[in-house]
Each structure stands twice: as structure tokens, then as C-alpha cells.
Amino acid sequence: MPTVVECPTCHAKVEWTEANKYRPFCSERCKMIDLGAWAEEKYTIPGAAPTDPLDEDAPETR
């Protein structure tokens, strides 16, 4: 029995097999929607913004 996962975009049940060339997505459409979200920077990791080491006002870290 193949592993069944949930499509990250539409949440449809998808068999994780080599026959599904879009896995873990259910279709090319869902894959492209996800790619578009990455391109638009909709996915983020929470945290402080990085500081520019060349910024004169930034505290020194040595």
C-alpha cells in the first residue's frame, strides 16, 4: 500500500509514488501556486531582521 500524504496547497489526499511527478502536490496547478507563494515571499521564518555589518550605527560584534 503506497503512502498517502496531503497536498500542501489544496489538502487533497495524494499517493506518494513515482507515478505522481508532482508529489507532494496533487497537480501542476498546486505546485505552481506554492512556487508563486515562495516567489512573493509569503513564507517567512520568524526572527529578528539581520543587521548590516557595514552599518555605522549597528553595535559591533567581535
20 annotated to bind ligand: no
Spatial distance between the Cα atoms of 43 and 61, rounded to a whole number of angstroms: 29
Would the annotation count 10 as a binding residue?
A: yes
CA within 13 Å, CB half, 39:
6
The answer on whether 7 is annotated among ligand-binding residues is yes
Q: Does 14 count as an annotated binding residue?
A: no
- Residues annotated in a binding site: 7, 10, 26, 30
Q: Which residues are annotated as a binding site for Zn(2+)?
A: 7, 10, 26, 30
